[in-house]
Amino acid sequence: MTGEYQYWENVPTRWKDNDVYGHVNNVVHYSLMDTVINEWMIRTAGFDPATSDAIGLCVESHCEYEAEVSFPDAIRVGLRIGKLGRSSVRWEIGMFRASDGAAVAEGHFVHVFVDRNTRRPVEITGAVRTEMEKLLTP
């Protein structure tokens, strides 16, 4: 399963990520997905969230949990694109315990790119689209 992702980041968990049940709380998984996607957009695709004419709005998100993870575990996060449309993208994310490779969770985010001012859908173009195409699953 880990070979299916084209981009990887190792993310350390933090003390505050654990909840009263002793494991990383579910909201942290969503935050990790959003963070890895946006870090990839900024660092790899050259996206500037502060000045870009187009911005990606999350219109759908989902996560399925496979195993617990707890601080001080690190999470290996894999990223790929399942579908790239004219103005939308479905990001697919896999999370694995870095120490043993155990699957922790799988999820997806769907972003629709819109004009920053009008909030109307716009086409994904330029370097962002070129880089996204590299993450498309075969």
Q: List pLDDT tens digits, range 17-39.
A: 999 999 999 999 999 999 999 99
3-state secondary structure of 115: strand
Cβ-contact 107, 61 below 8 angstroms: yes
Cα separation, 56 vs 132, whole angstroms: 13
User: For residue 108, what is the enclosing H or E element?
Assistant: strand 103-115
Give the pLDDT score at 137: 87
Low-confidence ranges of the chain (pLDDT < 70): 1-3
Residue among 33, 32, 52 at smallest CA distance from 42? 52
Cα separation, 62 vs 118, whole angstroms: 27
The predicted model scores a pTM of 0.93
Give the pLDDT score at 40: 97
Which residues share a beta bridge with 59? none
Tokens representing residue 117 in the block: 């001012």
